[in-house]
Each structure stands twice: as structure tokens, then as C-alpha cells.
């Protein structure tokens, strides 16, 4: 009898193990012991952690290819296939504190990050960008460390921005683009470009071109070209005028800052690199920065900051840099 070849045989053995872990964790019957066993496996070496990240990337690529195939062969409005929950609701409740644990200095993905990756339809890792085609004339570009998932909103398709940043493009004459759910708000663009970012409990919505509507707890706000607002779970801020080229410079591989406190600059740079840049004193945090950083050379950012501000950078293992 002929045996069917395992399509994974060309993969590194550790990557195959990583795929097995994804299947196990997504089975719907994973236990806390399974989660602890997975964590122990991943912690064995940097190669194990890298293999699991590669397995996640493969999962995302295969999932995207499968959806594209379905869209080409099914009806215009195919029914979505329900995905099984990673962990049952009872287990999720019993391990909520465990999942919320963060590694020191965010030097590696936390368990909650991995769970979020498994629940996302589209995701990017540190420093990665990815463009996803939606309907004709529509696309969404994911920035670094971004997670998006399909949702249903009032009977229509919507995208939930779980974390990170994305740019939604809708050309003239294209169908109505999906709404973006982020935190307590829902943002829509009919024709134009909308940049939206969810980070540390707040959401920033920018209208680059066209018009963007933002609904937030009963309030409805209209943004026009080069306008921006920020909201959190409780309140929505005022509309401000911004330079949209700076807000979307990441798409061109740049980070541009104009009179920005170094504290904010470092927070932004840390999103694009492994390890962490840390500031040693409060006075340095308030120093204003005017400069451009290339994402392809983001590890050189501490040297640039040294040149801008005359600060001293001290490098430590694990990508940690102390600025003083």
C-alpha cells in the first residue's frame, strides 16, 4: 500500500514540532498542563522559540492561501467556517492570571501574545509588515506586531484590530470597506485611506485621505483629510490636525519625529526591534527629538540618539540598551 507523504518533511524538525504544538493548543481540549508543557518546550533554547514563531508564520500563510482559494471557488458570500476555541471558557477563566503574565522587559512573546496570534486571522511579528487584499480596490497593510481578526458587525464583515497598527485603503468605486473595531470604537472609511493604531489601552485614528467616521459610545465623529483623534475605553479626544506623511511614514520604511519627547520616540522604536531601549533619567525623557530613523537599520537608533542629544548608550545582552 502506498503511503501518503507528509508535506512537512521538508521543514526543520523543530518547526514540525512547533506545528504540532499549534494543532494541540487549537484542539479545543487543551489543558493548563498542555500550556505549561508548551512553555517548557519553547523555553528549551532560542532555536525552539524561533521554530514556534516560524510555525505561526506558516499557519498564517496557509490560512490566507486557504481563504483565497475558498473565495475563488465558493459563492460571493460563502459561509465562514467556525474555528474552535483555543481553550474552553472555563479553562480561560481559571487561567486568566496565568495568561496575563508578561516576560521581563517583553524580551520574548508572552503566553497571552501567542494565544492572541492563534486567534488572529492576520498577524505580523516584530519589524514585519504585511499587505492583505480585501475586496476589489481595497487592501489593508499591517505594521509591526499587529493582530487582526474577522468579525461580524450588524450582519456585515468587520475587522477587529486586537493590537498594533494598520492602514486601510479603499479606492473610488470600490465596495464598502469593512469597519475596523478597535477597543470601544468603530471606524469606517468609504473612499480614502485610514490609519488606525491600538497601543497600551488607547486607539489613534488618522484620516490620511477622504473621510473617516468614528463611532464611540454614542458619539459619532467625522474626520477629514489629515485629521486625527485618540480615544480610550472611557472617552474620546478632540480632533487635531496632523501631518499624515509623518503618521504613515512607516509604510515607506521610516519613522519621522518632529519635536517629540524622547520618551515617546523610544516607545515607538521599541515596537520595531527585539530587546528594549531604556532611559536612565526623567530629564532625558523630556528632551525633544527631530529626526528620521530607517526601519531597515533600526538597531542603529541608539547611536543616532547619541548623536542627536549627546546621550550615552550602553549596550547589554539581549538587545537591551541603556541611554543616559
User: With b meaning 16 or more CB within 10 Å and e meaning fewer, what string describes 63-96?
Assistant: eeeebeeeeeeeeeeeeeeeeeebbeeebeeebe
Fold of 253-323: Phage tail protein beta-alpha-beta fold (3.55.50)
Nearest to 295 by CA among 272, 276, 271: 272
Provide the b/e sequence for 134-148 (b: ≥16 CB within 10 Å). beeebbbbbbbbbbb
Please tell me the pTM assigned to this model: 0.68
**SS3 at position 257:** strand
107-158 tens-digit pLDDT: 555 555 555 566 788 999 899 999 999 988 999 999 999 999 999 999 999 9
Assess contact for 9 and 19: CB atoms under 8 A. no
Domain ranges of the chain: 13-119, 130-247, 253-323
Q: What is the mean pLDDT of residues 257-279?
A: 94
Q: Collect contacts of 153-157 with beta carbons under 8 A, ≥24 apart.
A: 153/179, 153/181, 153/186
Run of H or E residues at 285: helix 282-285
The whole-number pLDDT of residue 281 equals 85
Q: Taking 50 as the threshold, does the pLDDT of residue 25 lie above it? A: yes
Statement: residue 259 has pLDDT above 50: yes
Span 225-248, average pLDDT = 95
CB 244 within 8 Å of CB 217? no
Please report which confidence band the pLDDT of residue 10 belongs to, taking 50, 70 and 90 as the band edges. Answer: low
Q: Residue 221 in 3-state DSSP?
A: strand
Q: What's the mean pLDDT when you consider all of the chain?
A: 81
Pick the CATH number of 130-247 from 3.40.50.170, 3.90.1210.10, 2.60.120.1440, 2.160.10.10: 2.60.120.1440
When pLDDT is cut at 50, 70 and 90, the band that residue 308 belongs to is: confident
Amino acid at each position: 500500500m502506498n503511503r501518503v507523504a507528509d508535506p512537512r518533511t521538508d521543514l526543520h524538525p523543530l518547526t514540525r514540532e512547533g506545528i504540532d504544538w499549534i494543532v494541540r493548543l487549537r484542539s479545543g481540549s487543551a489543558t493548563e498542563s498542555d500550556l505549561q508543557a508548551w512553555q517548557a518546550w519553547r523555553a528549551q533554547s532560542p532555536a525552539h522559540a524561533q521554530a514556534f514563531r516560524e510555525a505561526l508564520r506558516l499557519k498564517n500563510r496557509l490560512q490566507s492561501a486557504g481563504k483565497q482559494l475558498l473565495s475563488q471557488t465558493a459563492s460571493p458570500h460563502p459561509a465562514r467556517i467556525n474555528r474552535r476555541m483555543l481553550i474552553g471558557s472555563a479553562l480561560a477563566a481559571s487561567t486568566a492570571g496565568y495568561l496575563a503574565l508578561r516576560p521581563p522587559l517583553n524580551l520574548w512573546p508572552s503566553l497571552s501574545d501567542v494565544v492572541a496570534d492563534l486567534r488572529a486571522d492576520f498577524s505580523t511579528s516584530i519589524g514585519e509588515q504585511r499587505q492583505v487584499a480585501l475586496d476589489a480596490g481595497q487592501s489593508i497593510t499591517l505594521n509591526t506586531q499587529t493582530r487582526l481578526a474577522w468579525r461580524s458587525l450588524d450582519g456585515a464583515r468587520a475587522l477587529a484590530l486586537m493590537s498594533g497598527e494598520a492602514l486601510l485603503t479603499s479606492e473610488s468605486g470600490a465596495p464598502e470597506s469593512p469597519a475596523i473595531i478597535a477597543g470601544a470604537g468603530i471606524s469606517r472609511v468609504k473612499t480614502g485611506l485610514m490609519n488606525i493604531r491600538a497601543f497600551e489601552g488607547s486607539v489613534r485614528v488618522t484620516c490620511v485621505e477622504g473621510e473617516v467616521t468614528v463611532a464611540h459610545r454614542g458619539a459619532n465623529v467625522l474626520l477629514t483629510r489629515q485629521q486625527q483623534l485618540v480615544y480610550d475605553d472611557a472617552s474620546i479626544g478632540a480632533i487635531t490636525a496632523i501631518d499624515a506623511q509623518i503618521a504613515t511614514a512607516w509604510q515607506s520604511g521610516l519613522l519621522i519625529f518632529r519635536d517629540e519627547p524622547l520618551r515617546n520616540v523610544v516607545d515607538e522604536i521599541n515596537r520595531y526591534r527585539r530587546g528594549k531601549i531604556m532611559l536612565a533619567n526623567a530629564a532625558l525623557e523630556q528632551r525633544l527629538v527631530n529626526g528620521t530613523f530607517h526601519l531597515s537599520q533600526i538597531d542603529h537608533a541608539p547611536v543616532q540618539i547619541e548623536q542627536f542629544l549627546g546621550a550615552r548608550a550602553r549596550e547589554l545582552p539581549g538587545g537591551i540598551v541603556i541611554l543616559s
